[in-house]
């Protein structure tokens, strides 16, 4: 069995593209080998900043031979057809064909044997095609050739069973060989290899760690050791660890110092500067404070132990932090409130006005929402309006929450928006709750981001996301398929998490209508259909929230059909109450009574639907008591009235378990009705009354949820 070793050697591949590129190379080559009927035992891809490597073990020397049986024309067919068959089958005459009787007629057959191609030839074609059609997020041309690669491709190593495969990239003048190179500075000379083991060993000797996971482990382990040596710990940053592991072939972490006079700059500024610009790791004290130390990962073992590298990086960091400190000190000279008018110069969206317009809407929307915000509680949800004296503070937080967008610091580091606003607000003497609300109003940014819980923070964060959703849906800028350029799905998930995790009692339809009205006051022509009551936009957004809620709950093991069943009531826009309904419904359906009642519902609904279609009329409506003849239908009618009354009472008290219990008591009467009563009676009036009784089953259960949406 043969081993294929392929290396594509280039200038530095961006770290963010490396893992996907290695997997693409593996998939392209192995897929082509499979198409060519070449089995193999193992295929493994590796990547470093300067090379994509693939090793495939257990390849045969050639493809298996193929036997193909071809059926020709029948005996006695026109000569033209016979001549065509002889030619296409590669025969000299029909004497080379076999005659078989099929279905009472004689036909010519020929068995063609095609010898398998040499594996080297298949590999040559597969590698050439893979390279020439390789898909990079960004690519470039260089020299006089038309070939594209992420960075200039310098060499192709391709060895099969120790022999070079004749891969030629004619457009760029590259021809495969058995040569690679080690570390750019420590081992730049050509290295000849014959197998993967030989390749990996010589690269290691040439100061190249081929395996990205091993490089990551080396970096993580050495960082932890260096930090521990100073009595510190490394701040958790797996994303930076992945990135740095893709920037070096021979990782050598080194520790450096931050000048003390920079330590009064906000922590986020220091860590963002170090991370974004220099790829440094921040260190923390045992108390969690930022330490005046950093770790840089060098790409070489320096003869002086890295002293010059550390000194150079400290010098660069001083320059970076000097700029950051300057931005910080200059920004502090202008109060946050004085920056608000400048928001009128920032466009939110061409159809939705400026960020200044948005800030003025949030100033009104956040206090409205604050009426429903309360601290977290493990007990039953309840209304807890904010103190009326606090509402002006909520409004101020909402007005100021975007003001840091026009600061110099956020202009340099956009990822600090919100965070810097909090610092500036505190420096201006704003109420700490206002400052915290400004700092947290973008949260949660995703499913794993921390969700705010402080009342001011929740109100402003909710207002920001709801305003965005109402505006973009009103402007017709909705997500389509996989496209969501304005991150509206993320905004909706944020609204859901803020409401559910804080157990907020907010009727979404009414809040959407209020937010819609704020747009209408700013742009009357654009928002003509806005009004005090929920309208089509609210219904559309509630459907959107339902879809996002299904995703949110599916990840937590909740059935999506139960969400659909409850949301279909259309009068349920309180998410906390909705989830209580869903929980009670799920518990009920897990019981024998629930499962059997669901079956009875579907049976009754199917009968009524078929008869309504046939009779071209609806059987929704009151029962005629005088037409109830059998004891079983009288009992069912009485129980349906009882259940409907109890369900309404329990639902009003938010006792959904009680509502389900009321449903459960229907089950024996429904079962007996189907066993004893003939629905399609000969008397038309009696038949219609019994169909209305079945429709009553549908209506009674429909007061709890739309059972037609429930699977099973």
- For the chain, 712 residues long, the average pLDDT of each consecutive 10-residue run is 96 96 97 93 96 96 84 88 85 83 87 86 95 94 86 96 92 89 95 96 97 97 96 93 96 96 95 93 95 96 94 96 95 96 95 95 94 54 56 96 97 95 97 96 91 93 96 91 91 93 84 90 65 71 87 81 78 78 86 85 87 88 88 90 88 85 86 88 89 86 83 76
Helix pair 575-589, 488-501: axis angle to 10 deg: 80
Q: Strand, coil or helix: what is 6?
A: strand
Q: What is the number of other CB atoms lying within 10 angstroms of the CB of residue 152?
A: 14
- Tokens describing residue 633: 């239908």
Q: What is the pTM of this model?
A: 0.78
Phi, psi of 444 (to 5 degrees): -80, 140
608: Cβ contacts below 8 Å, ≥ 6 apart: 619, 691, 694, 695, 698
Q: Strand, coil or helix: what is 179?
A: strand
Top-tier CATH class for 2-62+118-205: alpha beta
Please name which of 382, 360, 384, 365 lies closest in space to residue 374, comparing C-alpha atoms. 384
Q: Give residue 660's pLDDT.
A: 87
Residue 683 and residue 668: Cα distance in Å, rounded?
A: 26
Q: Strand, coil or helix: what is 673?
A: helix
For CA atoms 172, 175, 176, 178, give the dihedral sign: negative
The answer, yes or no, to whether the previous bond of 666 is cis (omega within 30 of 0) is no
118: Cβ contacts below 8 Å, ≥ 6 apart: 61, 62, 63
Burial label for 73, CB within 10 Å (0-12, 13-18, 19+), is middle
- Summarize the chain as % helix, strand, coil (round to 5): 55, 15, 35
CB 628 within 8 A of CB 689: yes
Tokens 């390789």 belong to residue: 134
Residue 244 and residue 275: Cα distance in Å, rounded?
A: 10
For CA atoms 510, 514, 519, 524, give the dihedral sign: positive
Question: Can you say whether residue 3 is alpha, beta or left, with left for phi > 0 and alpha for psi between -120 and 50 degrees?
Answer: beta
DSSP H/E element including 203: helix 196-205
Helix pair 536-554, 560-567: axis angle to 10 deg: 160
Please name which of 610, 624, 606 lies closest in space to residue 686, comparing C-alpha atoms. 624
Q: Give residue 564's pLDDT.
A: 81
Phi, psi of 316 (to 5 degrees): -65, -40
> Can you give the three-state secondary structure of 307-370, one letter per residue?
HHHHHHHHHHHHHHHHHHHHHHHHHHCCCHHHHHHHHHHCEEECCCEEHHHHHHHHHHHHHHHH
Please name which of 53, 38, 54, 203 lies closest in space to residue 122, comparing C-alpha atoms. 38
Torsion of CA 359, 371, 572, 499, to 10 degrees: 70
CB 439 within 8 A of CB 422: yes
- Find how far residue 358's CA is from the centre of its chain: 27
Q: Where are the domains of the chain?
A: 2-62+118-205, 66-114, 212-332, 350-557, 585-709
518: Cβ contacts below 8 Å, ≥ 6 apart: 361, 364, 365, 467
Residue 574 and residue 459: Cα distance in Å, rounded?
A: 16
Please name which of 540, 524, 538, 670 lies closest in space to residue 595, comparing C-alpha atoms. 670
Phi, psi of 620 (to 5 degrees): -75, 135
- Tokens describing residue 296: 């840089």
Burial label for 308, CB within 10 Å (0-12, 13-18, 19+), is exposed
CB 689 within 8 A of CB 627: yes
CB 546 within 8 A of CB 521: no
- Tokens describing residue 675: 């066993």
Q: What is the number of other CB atoms lying within 10 angstroms of the CB of residue 83?
A: 12
Q: Give residue 385's pLDDT.
A: 42
C-alpha distances in Å from residue 197, one per residue of 31, 61, 211, 328: 24, 20, 13, 54
DSSP 8-state secondary structure symbol assigned to residue 207:
T
Q: Which residues pair with 257 in a beta bridge?
A: 293
CB 362 within 8 A of CB 460: yes
Residue 487 and residue 150: Cα distance in Å, rounded?
A: 29
Give the DSSP letter string of 583-598: HHHHHHHTSHHHHHHH
- Find how far residue 626's CA is from the centre of its chain: 60
Please name which of 477, 478, 474, 461 lies closest in space to residue 519, comparing C-alpha atoms. 474
Q: Which long-range contacts (CB under 8 A, 24 or more apart) does 356-359 make?
A: 357/522, 358/402, 358/467, 358/471, 359/398, 359/399, 359/400, 359/401, 359/402, 359/403
104: Cβ contacts below 8 Å, ≥ 6 apart: none
* Strands 163-164, 153-160: pairing kind: antiparallel
For CA atoms 488, 490, 494, 497, give the dihedral sign: positive
- Tokens describing residue 386: 């904010």
DSSP 8-state secondary structure symbol assigned to residue 342:
G
For CA atoms 691, 693, 697, 703, give the dihedral sign: positive
What is the second-level CATH architecture of the domain 585-709? Orthogonal Bundle (1.10)
Residue 469 and residue 25: Cα distance in Å, rounded?
A: 41
- Tokens describing residue 327: 């931005």
- Tokens describing residue 329: 């000190």
CB 543 within 8 A of CB 492: no
For CA atoms 340, 341, 347, 350, give the dihedral sign: positive
Question: Can you say whether residue 161 is alpha, beta or left, with left for phi > 0 and alpha for psi between -120 and 50 degrees?
Answer: left
Q: Which residues pair with 99 in a beta bridge?
A: 108
Q: What is the number of other CB atoms lying within 10 angstroms of the CB of residue 611?
A: 19
């Amino acid at each position: 069995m043969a081993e294929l070793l392929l290396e594509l050697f280039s200038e530095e591949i961006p770290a963010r593209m490396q893992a996907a590129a290695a997997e693409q190379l593996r998939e392209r080559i192995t897929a082509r080998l499979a198409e060519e009927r070449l089995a193999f035992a193992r295929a493994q891809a590796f990547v470093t900043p300067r090379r994509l490597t693939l090793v495939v073990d257990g390849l045969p020397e050639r493809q298996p031979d193929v036997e193909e049986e071809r059926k020709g024309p029948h005996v006695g067919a026109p000569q033209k057809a016979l001549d065509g068959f002889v030619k296409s089958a590669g025969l000299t005459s029909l004497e080379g064909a076999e005659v078989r009787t099929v279905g009472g007629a004689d036909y010519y057959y020929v068995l063609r044997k095609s010898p398998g191609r040499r594996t080297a030839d298949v590999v040559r074609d597969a590698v050439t095609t893979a390279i020439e059609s390789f898909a990079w997020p960004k690519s470039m041309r260089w020299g006089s050739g038309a070939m594209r690669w992420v960075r200039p491709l310098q060499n192709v190593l391709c060895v099969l069973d120790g022999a070079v495969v004749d891969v030629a990239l004619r457009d760029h003048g590259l021809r495969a060989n058995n040569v690679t190179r080690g570390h750019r500075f420590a081992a730049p000379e050509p290295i000849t290899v014959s197998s993967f083991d030989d390749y990996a060993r010589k690269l290691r000797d040439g100061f190249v760690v081929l395996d990205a996971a091993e490089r990551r482990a080396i970096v993580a382990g050495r960082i932890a050791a260096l930090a521990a040596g100073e009595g510190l710990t490394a701040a958790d940053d797996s994303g930076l660890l992945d990135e740095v592991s893709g920037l070096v072939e021979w990782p050598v972490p080194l520790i450096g110092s931050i000048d003390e006079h920079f330590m009064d700059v906000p922590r986020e500024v220091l860590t963002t500067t170090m991370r974004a610009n220099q790829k440094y790791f921040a260190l923390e004290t045992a108390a969690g404070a930022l330490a005046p130390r950093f770790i840089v990962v060098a790409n070489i073992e320096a003869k002086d132990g890295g002293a010059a590298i550390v000194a150079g990086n400290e010098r660069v960091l001083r320059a970076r932090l000097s700029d950051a400190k300057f931005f910080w000190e200059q920004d502090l000279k202008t109060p946050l409130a004085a920056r608000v008018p400048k928001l009128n110069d920032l466009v939110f969206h061409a159809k939705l006005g400026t960020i200044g317009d948005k800030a003025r809407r949030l100033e009104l929307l956040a206090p409205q929402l604050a009426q429903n915000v309360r601290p977290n509680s493990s007990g039953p949800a309840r209304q807890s309006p904010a103190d009326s004296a606090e509402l002006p503070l909520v409004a101020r937080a909402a007005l100021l929450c975007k003001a840091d967008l026009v600061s110099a610091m956020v202009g340099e580091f956009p990822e600090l928006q919100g965070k810097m606003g909090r610092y500036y607000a505190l420096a201006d003497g704003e109420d700490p709750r206002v400052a915290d609300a400004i700092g947290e109003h973008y949260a949660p940014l995703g499913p794993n981001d921390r969700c705010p819980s402080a009342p001011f923070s929740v109100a402003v964060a909710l207002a920001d996301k709801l305003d965005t959703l109402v505006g973009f849906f009103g402007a017709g800028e909705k997500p389509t398929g996989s496209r969501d350029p304005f991150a509206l799905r993320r905004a909706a998930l944020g609204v859901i998490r803020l409401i559910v995790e804080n157990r907020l009692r907010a009727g979404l339809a009414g809040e959407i209508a209020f937010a819609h009205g704020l747009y209408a006051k700013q742009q009357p022509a654009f928002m003509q259909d806005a009004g005090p009551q929920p309208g089509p936009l609210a219904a559309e957004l509630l459907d959107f929230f339902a879809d996002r809620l299904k995703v949110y709950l599916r990840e937590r093991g909740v059935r999506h059909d139960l969400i659909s069943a409850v949301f279909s009531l259309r009068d349920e826009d309180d998410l906390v109450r909705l989830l209580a309904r869903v929980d009670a419904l799920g518990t009920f359906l897990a019981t024998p009574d629930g499962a059997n009642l669901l079956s009875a519902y579907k049976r009754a609904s199917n009968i009524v639907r078929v008869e309504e279609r046939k009779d071209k009329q609806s059987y929704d409506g009151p029962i005629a008591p005088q037409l109830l003849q059998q004891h079983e239908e009288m009992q069912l009618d009485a129980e349906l009235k009882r259940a409907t009354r109890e369900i309404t009472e329990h639902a009003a008290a938010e006792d959904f378990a009680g509502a389900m219990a009321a449903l459960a008591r229907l089950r024996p009467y429904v079962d007996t009705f189907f066993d004893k009563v003939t629905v399609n009676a000969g008397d038309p009036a009696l038949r219609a009354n019994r169909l209305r009784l079945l429709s009553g089953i549908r209506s009674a259960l429909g007061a709890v949820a739309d059972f037609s949406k429930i699977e099973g």
